[in-house]
Every structure is written in structure tokens, then in C-alpha cells.
Amino acid sequence: MSEPTPSPENLEPGEDDEAMRQIASGESDAMESIFKRWKLPLLSFFYRATGSHADAEDLTLKTLDRLYRSASRYQNQGRFGPWLFAIARRELSHEWRRLKRKPVRCAPPELLADSLIDHSDGEIRRAMETEEQLLVALRLCSDREREALLLAASDRLDSAGIASALGVKERHLHVILHRARKTLKEAFDSLFS
């Protein structure tokens, strides 16, 4: 297992801009700091969006590769997060048609934060089942609703950043999130009834 990522509150937004400047000037090693800061938010976003941890790993690496290759075009100083997640959304939409047909496959419980109360078999199974229901319920949301929910859950972007990554007005985002939460709750509840 790798080192846990730094918590969001310890992030310096300027560090990403500086790293992008270095990458654009040919220093590929600067990608390491971006990787450390953003790998888990990206993995979580893709995992919950696709229902597959393996696909989430593929898409995270593809997104980072796309980011590296487009560093010279980066002009969003101070808005790195929305820019990164806009790339992530494009990668996801490329894969979505293929992924929709695949069943959900939960990540190993130890990869998820606080997902286990203890390590008894019953608790592990219960956590996996709940996680599976969540992944299925997420699939019942529309693409935009799902992405809005996942970006909001990551705690890495503020409302303006999420709206920017989704390509919508901030006012519209609140409407999308309201509907998304309602849809998710109804879908989640219906799976247990």
C-alpha cells in the first residue's frame, strides 16, 4: 500500500500551477507532485462512476497522461482542480458506453476509508454489500447527476470549481445536485425495498 495522500486542507493551490509550468518546460518529474496530490481523488471519482476499481486505475493513468501532454496549453492558473476534472470527465465519457454494460465490481474494503467497523467476516460482507448497492444506485442517476455528486463528495473542489469542471453555471449546479441527491436516495432506498 502507498502512503496516504495529503489532506485537502494542506494543499497549496499554487503548487499545481508551478508543477504545470515545470512540466510545460520539459520537466516530467514535476508530475510526481501532482500524482501524489490528486491520485486518490481521481481514483475515487472514477471508481464510483464506473463501479470498477480496475477501470478506475486505467482511467486515472489515462487522465494523468492526457494532463501531461496538454501541459503547454494549461492557462487556468489557480483553477487546476476544475481543469483536471474536466479532463477526467472527458476520459470517462469516452469509456462510458463500454463500461455501462459491465457489472459493478467493488474495490477491496481495505482501500476505502472507514468502510469497516471491524475485520470480522460479517462486517466485511456487510460493507461490501452496502458499497455494491451504492454503486448500483449511482448507475441509476444520469451521467451529469452522478458526476456532480462525485465531485461534491471528493471535497477537493468548491462549488465554483465543480460547476466549472461540469461546464455549467454555479446556480445550475445547485439544482443538479439537489435532483441528484433525491435520485440517489430514491434509487438507494428502492434497492433495499
Partner 1 sequence: MKDSPHTPDTSHSAPESLLKKQLVHTTPSFEARWTDLKRDWRREAAPDARRPFWTAWSWRLGLPATLVLALVFSRGLFLTEPGPVHTQLIEEVRMADLTEWDVALDQALPLLDPDLLDTLTLLLAQADPTR
- Contact residues toward partner 1 (CB under 8 A) are 1-2, 4-5, 26, 28-29, 31-32, 35, 39-41, 43-44, 47-48, 53, 57, 60-61, 64-65, 68, 107, 110-115, 122, 125-127, 129-131, 133-134, 137, 149-150, 153-155, 181, 184-185, 188-189, 191-193
44 or 164: CB nearest partner 1: 44
Sequence-distant (6+) residues with CB within 8 A of 17 are 77, 78, 80
Distance CA 167, CA 108 (A): 33
Sign of CA dihedral 23, 65, 52, 109: negative
Smallest gap, in angstroms, from Cβ of residue 175 to partner 1? 17
97 or 103: CB nearest partner 1: 103
Q: Under a CB-based contact definition with an 8 Å cutoff, are residues 8 and 156 in contact?
A: yes
56 or 163: CB nearest partner 1: 56
Smallest gap, in angstroms, from Cβ of residue 158 to partner 1? 16
Q: What are phi and psi of 8, to 5 degrees?
A: -55, -35
